[in-house]
Structure 1
Amino acid sequence: MKKIIVLFLLVLGGCSKIEPSKTEEVNPKAIESKQVEFEFKGKKLLITNHSEKIMTLIESDTTFSIEEKGKWQTIDQISGSLSITYNVLSKEVYEYDLTKELSEIGSNKIKVTVFYTFETGDETSEYEKELIYKE
């Protein structure tokens, strides 16, 4: 009887300490967004695609904002119906020339929002990156 009680206590004690396996779900969008590097070099934005996929940069959707009274205000720009995109291949560096746009804005601190996508088969993942440009 003693052995049965000890065995029963061991089983209960062992079962109470079982933890479910902790497998973290990895968000593929988080991985993809970390594989793109953005860096200003003068008034040019260098975009490096470190992923294995082709990245599509949507140049026509790029927005510019200036800081007024502690808040970012989007600058109205005339945009046509033409969509301008550029594909950045795997391991490629794209030089996005923003000289004209940044020169026209009369501020030394500008927030640039860039939009880009990655396509996997039928699925498209959309991203945006906000960067601060300072003269």
Structure 2
Amino acid sequence: MDVEAIDHANLHIPEDGVEAAVAFYRDGLGLDVENLDLFESGEKPFFSVRLAPTHVVHVQPDPEFEPPSGANFDHLALTVSTDFESLKAELDAAGIEVDRELEPLGATGTNPAVYVTDPFGYTLELKVD
């Protein structure tokens, strides 16, 4: 088997968390939110956040949502095309607090990264490309 890429990941959020998800991922991080109209009309049980041309996160409200813990989720790592100081400035301007800064080893090597937490407790590693 030759895996080419991750197509999508699924994140569950509280049933009343749609507005907070859109505010964080679209308004805060500047990512496109897709299929919100299909979700709102009941045609799909989730909507999507476009991470890159061929990568999305499906966001599904769940009445039994439990915030992630270290036992069931650590983080989602994303590479970003910007310099480190610009990344931090963008997050600051959007009112998104940086939890920590590291230079972690990942699939593309070791590069500076910041870690932020979404409104539901999911950690995102934003790693400079």
> What TM-score does the superposition give when structure 2 sets the normalisation length?
0.29
Higher share in strand: 1
Larger radius of gyration: 1
